A and B are shown apart, each in its own frame.
Chain A
Amino acid sequence: MSTFTRRFVSSCGKAWPWLAILALNVVLLTQRDAFSQIVTYPDGWTLPLAEALDGIIDRAVILFQAEGRAISGGLNVAFAGVQALLLHAPWIASVSLFALIAWQGGGWRLALLTVVLLLYVLAAGYWEPAMNTLSLVLLALPLAVLTGFGIGYLGFRSRRAQAVIMPMLDLMQTVPAFAYLIPILLLFGFGPVVGLIASVVFAIPPMVRNTILGMQSIPEAVMESARMSGCSRRQQFAWVELPAAMPQMLVGVNQTTMAVLSMVIIAAIIGGFEDIGWAVLSAMRKAQFGQSLLSGVVIVILAILLDRISAAYAARQLPTSSHSGLPLRRFVPLLALVMGAAFLGGHLLPPLDDWPHGLTYFPAQAINRATSDFVVAYGGIMAAFKNAIQFIVLLPVKLGFERAIVPFTWGIKVGSNSGSTEPQPPSWLAPRHRTFQDLFQPSRPRRAVPSGQLRKAPGDTSASARTWFCQQARSPS
């Protein structure tokens, strides 16, 4: 036996699973006309998972709705409080509050940025929706951070808990938010609180991950030196683990903030009220380009502010940071003083309380006009460009695929088209689509579902939930 044959035989030994798969494929190919199930997955084999889940959720909604409503009631009260502080306070007070917080975290440059951006929001007339969104964020943030920290610390202390937590986090971050918005809606009812809860759920994972990461990256020797210094378990937590992991955990707070903001905005789709996400959504529905652009800019401003400020606080925790801000015992009185002055100023001078209308600059109409002017002026050129691409590039390529490249190019000669008398390949080798044209233009959809005949499984358990949903939607909340 030659070396080659020997090698071939021995590699066949290793390759037998692949050979088996190949053989199975050949068998399936030859049998595909006899059993259609080989090619198309039969409808009857679909597991009734959706129905089962619907049933579970219905059950859960009935069981926990009272508790859910109680929670959302409590959150509504808290939300009203924060909203009152940010929105109904004089604007000068809210702006100074954020400016001071920014200054304490990142110095006067950040404070200046904050003031400029907030003044833009005021001037553009988006103050109310922006403050509503901020109230939601400020309320969701501590909830997400504290829950995330608790779960993360549990994961750090117990390997077994971590094994459960990690896949849960992946699930929370990958399942589309819309999928759990509906059950949350059923459990907690309509209103801004739904968005709040959805954003807490969505924003927990980064906090958990950063907590675990921060705790795990504390060097072993640091923990041991704490033990050898005679630290009790609680002292070790408060004096070593917490402060040593703090920089990493503040990175988590930063990421959580951004996650909360994004979800608060998306949640407008289900729990829409006077927030900035709602402003974008409604402008978009009315095809008002100018309005949706302007409210989009406000979202960007909020994102920049929240990101910069929380990142500044995270960076301040690093021992390398140069800016440390005031000590708390001096910052709090300063804050109280400035806020007091702002409230007084707002009380004495009405323009400091409500932004004067005369100072509002709302260029939405101008943008809309500019957009339509642009379309009118350059519509012809753009249409010409579009047509040129269509006729010079896209169509020739399509035609090329359809006509120029005959099956012969692929080494397969198909009898019926060429009218040849040569022997035909066995039927199972013949392509299912006779020509390549069939491949690109299937004569009819593979599975046509006549409209108005949507499949309804027998015993549809989701009916009750759906009925409830419709009732809720009809009655004003």
Chain B
Amino acid sequence: MTVNGEPKLSVRNLWKIYGSNPKSLVSDEFQNMPHAERLKHARQNQHFVAAANVNFDVYKGQIFVIMGLSGSGKSTVLRAISRLDEPTSGQVFLDDKDLLVASPKELTEIRRRKMGMVFQSFGLMPHLDVVQNVAFPLKAQGQSRGARRARARAREMIELVGLKGKERSYPHQLSGGQQQRVGIARSLAVEPELWFLDEPFSALDPLIRSQMQDEFLRLQKQLNKTIIFVTHDFLEALKLADNICIMKDGEIVQIGSPADIVLRPANDYVREFIGDVPLAHVLRAGDVMSPPYHDGQPHPKVVHDDILETAIKLFDDKTETIDVMDESGTILGSLHPLEVIRSLYHDDPEQAL
């Protein structure tokens, strides 16, 4: 995804500390300590640093994935941005407006108009059927008068997530995957600018999960939302993200595109995740191509977005070059067997390139 213009959402110096008096802890001196010392200092004062000095930008139409193991602070960051939990300090700009200083009234209005959220445990109202659940945020917007319009919008969303025919079912009558589709439809009902997904697929079976991921990508292609997606699954992050932010102990370890992370891990912690990643599925042709190679012969072609596996299958006895093009057909570069092999040999990918 090409990045253009101003960021839609900017997070600056975001801190979330749990304890009796967290504000007293965030001094300049504390902020300048190395992270391990900060954690120790907080622990000695009966406090817990859940998110430390988090900074990132999310651009319009981008899928920004926050990835980390449990306790890494990834959900904390999301909850702080949406103000489900009040952050200790920092700024969160949505189109130049700081969300953290918004009054309760303004915040309610922002949530009604601009935010949608999907929860790991779905959070569907048990007493409402599918249509009513999806229409719920519209009701909160005050659309009860135009109830017919709200219902029509809800039906449209239900169709979008592939639940047509289940409109009158109650949540307990649906499978986990279906319930999460309802959750997704509900979060999209108000056409939010910001779409938060907090481990939306973690509670689902692996097969359903991978289906839902594909569908999520299809939806995003259609809707082009600005997305913050939280997950503990590194492969899921690689599959979905335009940008990944890896967190550990409340601190950001690395931010980068999936290829950046895989090819240039910031430290051993990140490198450990990459260990069992099937790189041919993650890396894309555009990530490993070299400048266009012209030998006057026609080469097989792949799109820069295609995964390496697609390209590898095109190599044979006679083909030693594959051209990489963009969507319009312009040649961007070429792939050669040696480079492809080296990029897949991930003990030291940095050196391999």
Task: Decide if B301 is an interface residue (CB 8 Å cutoff).
Answer: no
**Highest count of chain B CB atoms <10 Å: which of A222, A224, A230, A246:** A230
27 pairs across A/B with beta carbons < 8 Å? A221-B121, A221-B123, A224-B84, A224-B119, A225-B125, A225-B186, A227-B84, A228-B82, A228-B115, A228-B116, A228-B117, A228-B196, A229-B111, A229-B140, A230-B110, A230-B113, A230-B141, A231-B108, A231-B140, A235-B140, A239-B136, A243-B128, A244-B126, A319-B127, A319-B172, A319-B173, A320-B172
Q: In the bound complex, how far is the Cα of B136 from the Cα of A319, in angstroms?
A: 17
Task: Decide if B120 is an interface residue (CB 8 Å cutoff).
Answer: yes
Residues on B with beta carbons closer than 8 Å to the beta carbon of A419: none
Report which of B120, B170, B173 forms a contact with A221, defined as CB distance below 8 A.
B120
Task: Decide if B122 is an interface residue (CB 8 Å cutoff).
Answer: yes
User: A228-B82, A230-B112, A232-B108 known; A222 and B137 CB under 8 Å?
Assistant: no
Contact with B along A213-250 (1 / 0, CB 8 A): 00000010110111111111001000110011010000
Task: Decide if B212 is an interface residue (CB 8 Å cutoff).
Answer: no
Say yes or no: B136 contacts A229, CB within 8 Å. yes
Task: Decide if B96 is an interface residue (CB 8 Å cutoff).
Answer: no
Residues on A with beta carbons closer than 8 Å to the beta carbon of B82: 228
Shortest beta-carbon distance, B254 to chain A, in Å? Answer: 29
Residues on B with beta carbons closer than 8 Å to the beta carbon of A231: 108, 140
Task: Decide if B41 is an interface residue (CB 8 Å cutoff).
Answer: no
Q: In the bound complex, how far is the Cα of B183 from the Cα of A221, in angstroms?
A: 11
Which of chain B's residues has its CB closest to A231's CB?
B140
Residues on B with beta carbons closer than 8 Å to the beta carbon of A224: 84, 117, 119, 123
Residues on B with beta carbons closer than 8 Å to the beta carbon of A320: 170, 172
Report which of A225, A243, A319 forms a contact with B123, defined as CB distance below 8 A.
A225
User: A230-B109, A320-B172 known; A222 and B115 CB under 8 Å?
Assistant: no
Which of chain A's residues has its CB closest to B137's CB?
A229
Say yes or no: B111 contacts A319, CB within 8 Å. no
Say yes or no: A230 contacts B127, CB within 8 Å. no
Say yes or no: A228 contacts B111, CB within 8 Å. yes
Report which of B108, B117, B127, B139 forms a contact with A243, defined as CB distance below 8 A.
B127
User: A228-B111, A230-B137 known; A319 and B120 CB under 8 Å?
Assistant: no
Say yes or no: B111 contacts A230, CB within 8 Å. yes
- Taking CB atoms and an 8 Å cut-off, the chain B residues in 114-156 that contact chain A are 115-117, 119-128, 136-137, 139-141
Contact with A along B24-58 (1 / 0, CB 8 A): 00000000000000000000000000000000000
Q: In the bound complex, how far is the Cα of B170 from the Cα of A244, in angstroms?
A: 13
Q: In the bound complex, how far is the Cα of B112 from the Cα of A226, in angstroms?
A: 10
Contact with A along B162-194 (1 / 0, CB 8 A): 000000001111000000000100100000000
Interface size on B, residues (CB 8 A): 33
**Highest count of chain A CB atoms <10 Å: which of B119, B123, B171:** B123
Say yes or no: A319 contacts B139, CB within 8 Å. no
User: A225-B119, A228-B84, A231-B140 known; A246 and B127 CB under 8 Å?
Assistant: yes
Besides A229-B136, A320-B172, 20 other CB < 8 A contacts? A221-B121, A222-B125, A224-B117, A225-B119, A225-B125, A225-B183, A226-B136, A226-B140, A228-B84, A228-B115, A229-B111, A230-B111, A230-B113, A232-B108, A235-B140, A239-B125, A244-B126, A319-B126, A319-B170, A319-B173
Residues on B with beta carbons closer than 8 Å to the beta carbon of A240: 125
Shortest beta-carbon distance, A369 to chain B, in Å? Answer: 57
Interface size band for A: 20 to 34
Say yes or no: A219 contacts B127, CB within 8 Å. no
Which residues does B use to contact A, with CB under 8 Å? 82, 84, 108-113, 115-117, 119-128, 136-137, 139-141, 170-173, 183, 186, 196
**Highest count of chain B CB atoms <10 Å: which of A221, A228, A230:** A228
Q: In the bound complex, how far is the Cα of B173 from the Cα of A229, in angstroms?
A: 23
Residues on A with beta carbons closer than 8 Å to the beta carbon of B84: 224, 227-228
User: A227-B111, A229-B111, A319-B170 known; A222 and B123 CB under 8 Å?
Assistant: yes
Q: In the bound complex, how far is the Cα of B120 from the Cα of A219, in angstroms?
A: 12
User: A227-B84, A227-B111, A228-B82 known; A222 and B126 CB under 8 Å?
Assistant: yes
Q: In the bound complex, how far is the Cα of B122 from the Cα of A227, in angstroms?
A: 14
Which of chain A's residues has its CB closest to B105's CB?
A232
Q: In the bound complex, how far is the Cα of B119 from the Cα of A319, in angstroms?
A: 22
Residues on B with beta carbons closer than 8 Å to the beta carbon of A232: 108
Say yes or no: B126 contacts A230, CB within 8 Å. no
Q: In the bound complex, how far is the Cα of B125 from the Cα of A319, in angstroms?
A: 11
Report which of B113, B121, B127, B196 forms a contact with A244, defined as CB distance below 8 A.
B127
Q: In the bound complex, how far is the Cα of B118 from the Cα of A224, in angstroms?
A: 10
- Taking CB atoms and an 8 Å cut-off, the chain A residues in 231-290 that contact chain B are 231-232, 235, 239-240, 243-244, 246
Which of chain A's residues has its CB closest to B82's CB?
A228
Residues on A with beta carbons closer than 8 Å to the beta carbon of B121: 219, 221
Residues on B with beta carbons closer than 8 Å to the beta carbon of A228: 82, 84, 111, 115-117, 196
**Highest count of chain A CB atoms <10 Å: which of B109, B140, B170, B186:** B140
Residues on A with beta carbons closer than 8 Å to the beta carbon of B117: 224-225, 228
Which of chain B's residues has its CB closest to A317's CB?
B127
Q: In the bound complex, how far is the Cα of B41 from the Cα of A336, in angstroms?
A: 73
Q: In the bound complex, how far is the Cα of B141 from the Cα of A222, in angstroms?
A: 18
Residues on B with beta carbons closer than 8 Å to the beta carbon of A227: 84, 111
Q: In the bound complex, how far is the Cα of B202 from the Cα of A358, in angstroms?
A: 73
Say yes or no: A219 contacts B123, CB within 8 Å. yes
Shortest beta-carbon distance, A83 to chain B, in Å? Answer: 36
Residues on B with beta carbons closer than 8 Å to the beta carbon of A219: 121, 123
Q: In the bound complex, how far is the Cα of B173 from the Cα of A232, in angstroms?
A: 29
Q: In the bound complex, how far is the Cα of B243 from the Cα of A248, in angstroms?
A: 45
Q: In the bound complex, how far is the Cα of B121 from the Cα of A222, in angstroms?
A: 9
Q: In the bound complex, how far is the Cα of B27 from the Cα of A403, in angstroms?
A: 87
Q: In the bound complex, how far is the Cα of B127 from the Cα of A244, in angstroms?
A: 6
Q: In the bound complex, how far is the Cα of B138 from the Cα of A230, in angstroms?
A: 10
Q: In the bound complex, how far is the Cα of B29 from the Cα of A351, in angstroms?
A: 93
Q: In the bound complex, how far is the Cα of B196 from the Cα of A228, in angstroms?
A: 10
Q: In the bound complex, how far is the Cα of B127 from the Cα of A240, in angstroms?
A: 9
Q: In the bound complex, how far is the Cα of B196 from the Cα of A240, in angstroms?
A: 21
Residues on A with beta carbons closer than 8 Å to the beta carbon of B123: 219, 221-222, 224-225
Shortest beta-carbon distance, B180 to chain A, in Å? Answer: 12
Say yes or no: B112 contacts A229, CB within 8 Å. yes
Which of chain B's residues has its CB closest to A229's CB?
B137
Say yes or no: B119 contacts A221, CB within 8 Å. yes
Nearest 5 A-B pairs (CB), nearest first? A230-B112, A221-B123, A225-B123, A230-B111, A229-B137
Say yes or no: B126 contacts A221, CB within 8 Å. no
Residues on A with beta carbons closer than 8 Å to the beta carbon of B120: 221
Q: In the bound complex, how far is the Cα of B109 from the Cα of A229, in angstroms?
A: 9
Q: In the bound complex, how far is the Cα of B189 from the Cα of A225, in angstroms?
A: 13
Residues on A with beta carbons closer than 8 Å to the beta carbon of B112: 229-230
Contact with B along A11-40 (1 / 0, CB 8 A): 000000000000000000000000000000
Q: In the bound complex, how far is the Cα of B186 from the Cα of A240, in angstroms?
A: 15
Shortest beta-carbon distance, A295 to chain B, in Å? Answer: 42
Shortest beta-carbon distance, A21 to chain B, in Å? Answer: 38
Say yes or no: B108 contacts A222, CB within 8 Å. no
Residues on A with beta carbons closer than 8 Å to the beta carbon of B113: 230
Shortest beta-carbon distance, B194 to chain A, in Å? Answer: 11
**Highest count of chain B CB atoms <10 Å: which of A229, A243, A244:** A229
Which of chain A's residues has its CB closest to B107's CB?
A230
Residues on B with beta carbons closer than 8 Å to the beta carbon of A319: 126-127, 170-173
